[in-house]
Amino acid sequence: MNKNKKVFIIAIIAIVIVLLIGVAYAFLATDMFKSNKDLFLEYAAKMFDDDGFIDSSVKQYYEKKGNSSYENEGKVNINVDSETLDNDKMKNITNLSIDFAGNADITNKKTETLVKIKYNDDVNFPIYYKKVDDICGIKLSEIAKGYFAWKENEFGEVITKMSKIDKMEGLKDIPLINSESVMPDLSNVRLNQSENDKIKTTYFDLIKNNIDKDNFTKIQGMETDGYSLELDNKDLKELLVKLLEKLKDDEVMIDKVSKITGNGMRSSDIEAKIDDLNENGLADGKTIITIFGKDKKANKIEIQFNDELKITISKESSDDEKVYNIEVETIEYLFSIKLSYIGLENLEKVTEKYEISYSDNTNGDSYYYNIQNDVRFTNDIDIKDFKEKEYVDFNKLSDEKLKEIVNIIQTKVRQVSDRQMGEAGIIGENPVINFIPGLTSWMKKFDIYQNEEGMQTQEQPESTQETPETPTVPESSTMPETPATTPETPITDSSSNNLVTNMEELEKQTFNDRIKQYEGNTVSAPALKSLMMQVIASNMAYEDKKITVTGDVVLTGDEVPDTIDSTKTYTVKCSTGTDGFINEVEVKIKK
């Protein structure tokens, strides 16, 4: 064999080897020889991986948020396009906004948030929320001096008691509010490796073995490919029954679902659902599930149930911003939410943005909400514990006492609403009633923003019920088993008139203590910020008891001053006026 021929044969063999390697790689690493069924299940399975549909940076952010202290502030704005509301009502709703600022001390299980419902730039209704361990409290500074509180795991009992009160029955009909947990615990959404493997081997294998490959098709796109699963609803019912049969004996996954939803799912609940499916089945028709992917990762999921319901979930990720879109469309309405995260690179300051829209196809109303929440991680958080006499525990009140307090709250909110509506130049319904579509009818039942005839109380005479200018919360009733040592005897069920008595000394003490607790020679910057939040809330609640802040840090409006330096400590001194109430706080940088 001559030399040239030998070289040619070697070259041919080399080319064949390269081609064989390429084919093998294509088979192992690309979709060339995989069925539509295989690809659908592959994309679906990868959604649960560490960097699957939810980007790892987003998961890391929520993990840090669940384990680290931080401060946050943000704003909610709304726009309305309605065929049922007149122009004045739409204008009033659009002018309404919500500002909020808060701190979270995760290590010590403490959070606090100041929420300001703003009719305009000058008129606000402040709500202060604080949680210490398992005690949650809300303070309506315009209504009372202390917190109305409850134990976190006893919230359902409070709602049950309140729903027995006239005009409060509607509470039990509001979705979520009467559930065992008001909000799902999103910290439990992430699956560990064992749970991932369980889903893939148990539930995906069941799907794989019970659906024919002819049910899967490929949808060719310009930038992404889609893999679709189409099932007749009769076949879908059979598949759901088999999945639920697996789930009812899977204690690990039942526990996971229960933690995510907060509904305490049990095996018996799943058994009841299986019986319901077997007895009633699903509506005739078909269900189509489509997963779109790019670079071997799912970036969009569509679920279409007949012509009645369509759910679309998608994501758009870049180095600077992670964006997720959720859309639910039915014959009656279209709901969408866009979630954006900016600043995930270093996880020091993250901006959360939410664009929410709701369109009611039955009446032509559309609501658009823009929410921004800026989160800054810091260890400089100082949240004070609840004081013994700072709150009234709703759980410990008798039905009669609770009814009395609720009636006072309703009356005072109406009075405050009248005053603030007048200050804001708003005529007619309070825009808060229509801020969220669907809640209007419930809010009108509660006799808070409207009188019994359904007219805004701004045009009605002020209630003649004998209440103090600012009712005093029966603070010491939070611990009835501990006798009070002060002249202010705890308010008991046998002395209901105490609640509506103007206890001036206790009012003065409560007013001053909220500010005076921050007084000292070595006040940290976080504590000073908390003081500023207290002063802002107090000034918005008490027109006749304004507190000025002077010295090296000056409070000029209703925003925490940005001149507070986290590297410095401060001296804080309080001064009182002739009436005994604190009216000035002097702040100096400690030398």
- Predicted confidence at residue 419, as pLDDT, reads 85
From CA 548, how far away is CA 294, in angstroms rounded?
59
The whole-angstrom separation of Cα 426 and Cα 421 is 5
Average pLDDT over residues 171-190: 46
Nearest residue to 73 via CA among 352, 282, 281: 352
Cα distances from 353 to residues 113, 328, 371, 511, in angstroms, run: 18, 19, 6, 36
pLDDT value for 15: 55
Measure the CA–CA gap between 259 and 360, rounded to whole angstroms: 32
DSSP string, 230-258: EEEHHHHHHHHHHHHHHHTT-HHHHHHHH
**Contact yes or no for 297/46 (Cβ under 8 A):** yes
Look at residue 478 in the predicted model and tell me its pLDDT: 27
Whole-number Å distance between alpha carbons of 42 and 298: 9
Could you tell me the two tokens for 481?
Answer: 């088993």
3-state class of 330 per DSSP? Answer: strand
The phi, psi pair for 239, rounded to 5°, reads -65, -45
For 30-115, where are the alpha helices, taking DSSP H only?
Answer: 36-46, 56-67, 87-95
| DSSP designation for 482 | S
Measured CA to CA, the distance from residue 103 to residue 383 in angstroms comes to 8
Pairing mode, if any, of strands 548-551 and 582-589? parallel
Q: What are phi and psi for residue 376, nearest 5 degrees?
A: -125, 120
* pLDDT value of residue 448: 53
Of 426 and 293, the one with more pLDDT: 426
Q: Report the length, in residues, of the chain.
A: 591
Q: Determine how β-strand 366-377 pairs with β-strand 391-393.
A: unpaired
Assess contact for 112 and 560: CB atoms under 8 A.
no
Cα–Cα distance, 302 to 310 (Å, whole number): 7
Distance of CA 94 to the CA centre of its chain: 22
- Sign of the torsion angle spanned by Cα atoms 531, 537, 540, 541: negative
Confidence bin at 336 (pLDDT 50/70/90): very high
DSSP string, 164-206: TSTT-GGGGGSTTTTSSSSS--GGG-S--HHHHHHIIIIIIHH
pLDDT digits (tens, 9 = 90+) for 411-446: 778 778 888 888 888 887 788 877 777 655 555 555
- Least confident window among 185-199, 389-403, 561-575: 185-199
Q: Between 584 and 163, where is the model more confident?
A: 584
Higher pLDDT, 439 or 219: 219
Q: Outline where 356-503 has alpha helix (H).
A: 399-424, 440-445
Given a contact cutoff of 8 angstroms between Cβ atoms, the answer to whether 264 and 255 are in contact is no
Owner of token pair 């148990």:
202
pLDDT in tens, 55-87: 888 888 988 998 899 999 999 999 988 888 888
Lowest mean pLDDT among 331-335, 352-356, 459-463, 542-546: 459-463
CB-based contact 118:124 (threshold 8 Å): yes
